[in-house]
Amino acid sequence: MKIICDWENCNEIGSYKAPLEKDNSKKYRLLCLTHIKIFNKNWNYFENMNDQEIEFFIKSDLTWHKSTKTFGSSDNFFNILWNNALDDKLNIFKSSNFRDFKKTKVSQQDKDALQVMELNEEVKWEQIQSKFKELVKKYHPDKNQGSKKFEDKLKKITLAYSQLKKTLGKK
Ligand SMILES: [Zn+2]
């Protein structure tokens, strides 16, 4: 049986998962391609996540410790986040959805975030995106014997990425 998109007044087939909560539960609804794109654009994955939630995200078994399995084998928020935001199969985070920094208007928060990500203000969004992936791989707990030091580093990187995404994302 085909599932119909959960978006109001939509009758397309729903084949994409949209998480309902930022937690480890498997609650999601199914949307069609048009509506998953709208959903992902509007839903900032990292925004309003507190320290603890980010830490949970970073430590999540389902995010990190099943790297030999495909991420598609589980449906929780972290997995959906990985597929939608980091892997970006739907091109939601492609550069046309983001602007560049205006040199005169870089806030201190953005400067700090750029520093954490080892980038400067000349950076284009796609470089931020690929740097984020690179750093996430580099500081992956599995690659660092679960070192607390690297976990903290990864948490800072995630917050920095979140900050830059908020600043540069087009409304
Ligand atoms: Zn739809």
Q: What is the pLDDT of residues 134-149, one digit of tens each?
A: 887 787 655 666 566 6
Give me the pLDDT at residue 99, please: 86
How many angstroms does the Cα of residue 38 sit away from the middle of ligand 1? Answer: 10
Identify the band that residue 47 occupies on the pLDDT scale cut at 50, 70 and 90: low
Ligand 1 geometric centre to CA of 39 (Å): 10
Closest CA to 77 of 132, 11, 21, 30: 21
What is this structure's pTM? 0.59
CA distances from 57 to 5, 24, 60, 141, 158 (A): 27, 9, 5, 12, 10
Say how many Å lie between the CA of residue 160 and the centre of ligand 1: 32
Q: How far is the CA of 5 from the centre of ligand 1 (A)?
A: 5
For 31, 75, 92, 119, 135, the CA distances from 23, given in Å and listed in that order, are 19, 11, 22, 30, 23
